Structures are given as structure tokens and as C-alpha cells.
Structure 1
């Protein structure tokens, strides 16, 4: 078959191919070679790899001259003695290349001490680092090298390194088989470092190596028994931690509730104008007032003089109430007249000057005075007339 004077040779493979040989051989001199980005081409002449071409267009000199080929080919039966061919190498990084162990490795589980078989699988990404080394050492005269075929070449390295390393590491570091998935990143990084030299010897870059699955013997009775035991223990530990956390939260909530209640009581005292001591005095007076006879006061060791000193204003109010109940005036009871005590503005809550008709803080008019101007009776609640002498109250 007569060849044309000039040919064009270019890559016609796909992205999953590492090495592809162009089907045209023994092409004429001045043939045009086109190499795309991320590719390299190697030109073979008479069995020797002569030139390596990067991206661009090139003119090949092959010694095959169309006009005189019939004459030069006569001694070889019409075949050219000047044999030439071109290989294209795809240098793009090829990702998500699957790998997996073809068998499981036996080792003694370090936590529960039972024999177990495990395997592994994952993904890796590869690219060509040395086109000439890959072609000469691995491809040879093959016309095609794809992902599947390349993995077959490296299967022995993968199986030996992966199975041995994972079993040794889990045993040496006492990694529980049920917690192995938590160590996938460590396995991936260490195996990546160990496998790089094996691929580099053949002109291949191992860019990434990921262990994504530790294959466990699911379904085996012994394995299932220890798996159930492990997860029951794990559940008990988590339950104990949860109960402890809930107890701490409850304790914190109770403390916060006590602080809030104390703050509320303090705010109430501030608004209503009395202190903690006055509140305690009122509690004591309330208990004393619940007794029905003076004899009971005596038996309790509590006299009217004692009550006058309890709780300040509150104590004074209770003393007057007790004295009135028994028909005795302050002078008859042998006690000094009640003190004016502290009064507070109905409008702003400020403490009033004794006897004041208006608040010296906000100017608001005040209710009737605390003491009857006629008989000196101390009022304990609002009203229009004195309950003791009947005089009209001022206001």
C-alpha cells in the first residue's frame, strides 16, 4: 500500500490511558507530529528511543522518502528497512483509581485476644513522572497501558505492603478492630510514604493513597459475639457519662435558682423600704402574736419590752397592737412612747423626714401622719378617724 507523502500523527486515546501507541508505523520523512499539553511523545527509530517531545508541532525525519521507497525496499521484499513508531504518554493526574486486597490477613485482635481476618480497600491517584522509564521498564512493545493494567503490574507491591503494615500496626499499637475506622487517616499517610518508592522505580508518581475501608469478617459467629460485647460496654460508659453530666447541670440549675430567689427578695426589701433585720423581727413578732394570753408571753420569756426592740419599725407596730389589745397605753405599760420610726414616700420610695407632709425628694404630698395629734395613738393602717379617740385624721 502506497503511503502519502506527508502524514499527521497525534494522540487519539482517552484520559484513563497512560501510554498509547499510534497505529501508523514506518511513516515518511517530514511527517507532522502534534503533541498536546499534559502529554509527551517518544519517537522510536530502528528500535531505539531517540527523541522525547513535549507539547507542540514537530517535523519527523525518518529516512523514508516516498519517491525512492520502491527501490530501497526491493532487497527487503517491499518492506522499509527504516522502522519508526511513536508512543504517546498521558501525564495528567488520574484520580479515583480503585484498589483492594485480594485476600485477608490473619492477626490476633489485641483487645479481646481472638484471631481475626481483615482486608482493606481504597483509592489512589497516579501520574507519569518519567515517560522514558515507564515505557522502557514497564510497557515494552505493548501498544496500550490503561489504569487496570497498571494496577495489575503493581498488585504485588500493594498486597504485600498494605496487608503487612495494617496487621503489624494494629497489633503494635493495640488498636481495637471495632475502632479501626478511626485510624484510616494514619493508615493512609503511612502506606502512602511506604509505596512511593515502589511506583517511582517505574516512572510513576503516587500522588495520593487513601485507605477508605477496613474489611472485617462480618457474619462470623466469634466476631459478632465480641462486637456485641464491645458495643454493650461502650453504651454503658456513655450512659454513665450522660448521667454525670445531667447531675452537674441539675446542681448548677439549683444554685442559679437560689441566687435568683435571693436577688428577688433583696429587690423586694429595697422597694418596700425594710431590711433583713426588720423582716426577721416581723417573723418573731408574728409568732408571739399568735399566743392568746399574756401568761403565755411570760412562759415564753418574751415581754413587751423585748418586742419593742425587735425589728425596729415592725416591732414597734406589734408592741402597740398588743398594748391596745389589753387596753394599756404606752405610759400604762411602763414603756416609753413609740418612736416616730422611718416613713417612706408613696410616690418614689425615698425615706421621709419625721412629720413631713411632702416628700423632700420628689415633692409628692403624703398620706396622713403616723400619730394622732389628739391622743398620740400611732396609726398602723390608713383611715379617716383615730380608732382610739375618734379625732379626724389629717390628710
Structure 2
């Protein structure tokens, strides 16, 4: 019994871009079901008529049951109204492998020597323009899978990728010895360059990754410049390390000084004396180490110094030292009372000895004033019988 209507839906897998339903020349009233992330193209008499998005549709094909049987007899059991449906998978197809089939030759931008490299990676593709992809790539084929697409695009991919790869390395001046650090940059550059090329075939290049750069290990020129490059950067790294170690040592020394200073300040606070007081102790200790009074002068320490070097403690130490120094001075330096007063002759100016009645030089009599002590020379301020300075009996 001949079916009046069919149900047409997608029966492919996610690794397929375009899939043609095997049921052809179906009758009118056939139901077309299109899933999400899919599109369907209805072909009638060799022409792509309608593009269907997600949903359910009833197709009109001019193939009518019973009447179609009489028409087929006239054409040898073939309907004159040929029809078919293509399903297009709109999902993003990920991790599609690519790789150069031969080495890319270019001039190394840093050391300017010729070099050959290979490259490989992955890309994500998506069918964007269903009609363009079907008409330009699939044609009358029954399907288009990932492997078949990369096979059809192989020559296209190799030519474009190798050209763009060499150009990107040259324009970005990427050293072959540092190229692994720039894989993301290379991937982004190649992605931008390839987008329009894929779009010409109705394919969207969603992602493009360069995962591996195959270097010419063992090549004499490459190994020579590789050794030079890493030796140069090893020297730079060593110099930076030494500089950093020096900075760390200085920082450690400074931190140590800060810690010691803080500990000393805390100690002073706990012991109840200030920095000025501590300095008074230090100066007093230095003074005490000198036995002769004359050495205080050599040290530049005056008798009034100790009184101001350390606040309360310094004043106390300074007072004690002043008393000690005063006693030493009294013992070592004769007092004015022990020294006779020196007078001079009024006639010739010669120095007169104590108690002289006449000048030894000119014989002029010495005139004694009752206003001056004959012993110490003290000038009397008021009448009296004895000198208030030395106790000698006054004359007159």
C-alpha cells in the first residue's frame, strides 16, 4: 500500500555539517520536522526553494497519491516532480584538527637567519550561511562531515595558514626561541586573518588555536643561535639575581637596625631614662677614664658640659664631676693668696720684689700706699686693720 505522507527529520550525528535525508520524491502533505540548532533546505526540481528553521512544516511537492502512479508509468516509474531535503547542523563543531603538511620557511626576525618550522592546532567551525555552504561545497553530495570538510579545505588551509603564520611572526618580531610564549598572540592573529576566507564558503571560524610549533631541533644554524640566545639571557638573569640579592641584604640590614632601635627604645622606657640621660652616662664614662685634669681640655670637655648632657641624671653626674674637677684644680693650681703681689717702680718701671724699700734698678724709694695690701695687693674698699683677702696687717 502506498503511503500518503512521510515524516522527514534529521537522523545524522553532531560531527556532520550537512546531511541529506534518504527519502526523496515524497508526496505532498509530508511533514518536515526541524530541531533547534538546525536548518533545512527544501530542493524542488533541482532548485533550493525554501529554508526552514526549527519547527514542523507541511511540504507541497506536486506529488499526489494515485495520480502520481499514472504519471510514473509514463516516465518509467520515475516521478517528474523530483524533491529532496538537506539538513544543516548549526552547532559549533569543536576541536577540529589542523596541521601544516610541510615546513614554513621564513627569516628569523631577531638573529636574521633562515629557518623552517611546522605548526599544528585545533579550530572550531560552524555552518553560518546554509545555502552558500550547500551550493559551493556540498553540491550533490549526500553529506559533509568534519573530516570531509578538512579534506576539501586542505589545500586552502595549508596555503593560507603558512602564509599568515610567517607574516604574523615577521610583523610581531617574535623570536623563534621565545615563540612558545606567543602562541596565544599567534592564534589571535591567524584567527583574524582566516575569518573572511572561511566566510566565503559559508563557514564561521569561531575559534582558532596554534597549539604546537615544531622547531628544527638538530639543525646546526638553529642550535648555534639557540646556544647564543640562552647564554645571553642567562647572563642577564644572573645579573638581575645579584642585584635582587643586594637589595634584599640592604633591606635585611635596615630592618635589623629598626628592630634594634625599637628594642633599645623599649629598654630605655622600661628602665626609666631618656636618650639624653644615656648620653650623659656615656660622656661621664669617657671623662672618668682620663686621670689628669689637663686631658679634659684635650677632649674638649668644659667644666659646664656635664651639667647639661643628660637632664636629671646628666646633671647629677655633671655636678659630681665638676666637684671632683674643682678639687683637683685646687690641689694642682696655687691660689692667689700664695702668690705675692707684684708691683713696679714709679720711676723706671722695673718689677719690685716683695718688701723692697728701694728699686734695685734706679734706687728710687718705694712709696707704699695704705690703700693696697702689701702682701696680696688687694685694694681696700673701707678702713680696717687687716686685709680681708689674706689677713696681713695693714700699714698706717
Scaled by the length of structure 1, the TM-score of the pair is 0.73
2:243 is equivalent to residue 244 of structure 1 = yes
Change in CA separation of 1:270 and 1:71 when aligned onto 2, cut-off 3 Å: closer
Larger Rg: 1 or 2? Answer: 2
1:314 — aligned with what?
Answer: 317
Task: Find the residue that maps to 1:225 and give its secondary structure.
Answer: helix
2:131 is equivalent to residue 145 of structure 1 = no
Kept in 1: contact 2:122–2:211 (CA 8 A): yes
Deviations 1:20-42 (A, max 9, x none): 01111122222221111111111
Structure 1 residue 299: deviation in Å? 5.4
User: In structure 1, what is the Cα distance between the partners aligned to 2:267 and 2:322?
Assistant: 25
Kept in 2: contact 1:285–1:307 (CA 8 A): no
Task: Find the residue that maps to 2:153 and give its secondary structure.
Answer: helix
Deviations 1:85-123 (A, max 9, x none): 111111111122221211111112122232210122222
Matches within 5 A, 1:12-27: 12-27=11-26
Structure 1 residue 190: deviation in Å? 2.4
Matches within 5 A, 1:80-91: 80-91=79-90
Matches within 5 A, 1:121-136: 121-136=120-135
1:168 — aligned with what?
Answer: 167
Kept in 2: contact 1:278–1:314 (CA 8 A): no
Change in CA separation of 1:153 and 1:297 when aligned onto 2, cut-off 3 Å: same
Deviations 1:238-261 (A, max 9, x none): 121121112112112222322333
User: In structure 2, what is the Cα distance between the partners aligned to 1:257 and 1:33?
Assistant: 84
Deviations 1:66-100 (A, max 9, x none): 32333221222222222211111111111222212
2:112 is equivalent to residue 108 of structure 1 = no
Kept in 1: contact 2:169–2:186 (CA 8 A): no
1:378 — aligned with what?
Answer: none
1:69 — aligned with what?
Answer: 68
Kept in 2: contact 1:118–1:217 (CA 8 A): yes
1:206 — aligned with what?
Answer: 205
User: In structure 1, what is the Cα distance between the partners aligned to 2:277 and 2:303?
Assistant: 12
Root mean square deviation of aligned Cα: 3.0
Gaps of 5+ in 1: 335-395
Structure 1 residue 200: deviation in Å? 1.5
Structure 1 residue 142: deviation in Å? 0.2
User: In structure 1, what is the Cα distance between the partners aligned to 2:187 and 2:297?
Assistant: 87
Deviations 1:174-219 (A, max 9, x none): 3210112232233222222222222212211112222222222233
Kept in 1: contact 2:164–2:193 (CA 8 A): no
1:53 — aligned with what?
Answer: 52
User: In structure 2, what is the Cα distance between the partners aligned to 1:206 and 1:234?
Assistant: 38
Deviations 1:271-320 (A, max 9, x none): 434444443343343244345xx5x44456589x9567424222345567
Task: Find the residue that maps to 1:219 and give its secondary structure.
Answer: coil
Kept in 1: contact 2:72–2:80 (CA 8 A): yes
Kept in 2: contact 1:35–1:56 (CA 8 A): yes
User: In structure 1, what is the Cα distance between the partners aligned to 2:18 and 2:135?
Assistant: 11
Task: Find the residue that maps to 1:66 and give its secondary structure.
Answer: coil
User: In structure 2, what is the Cα distance between the partners aligned to 1:137 and 1:118?
Assistant: 33
Kept in 2: contact 1:22–1:86 (CA 8 A): yes
2:391 — aligned with what?
Answer: none
Matches within 5 A, 1:1-395: 3-290=2-289, 296-298=292-294, 301=297, 309-310=305-306, 311=309, 312-317=315-320
User: In structure 2, what is the Cα distance between the partners aligned to 1:320 and 1:165?
Assistant: 97
User: In structure 2, what is the Cα distance between the partners aligned to 1:159 and 1:109?
Assistant: 21
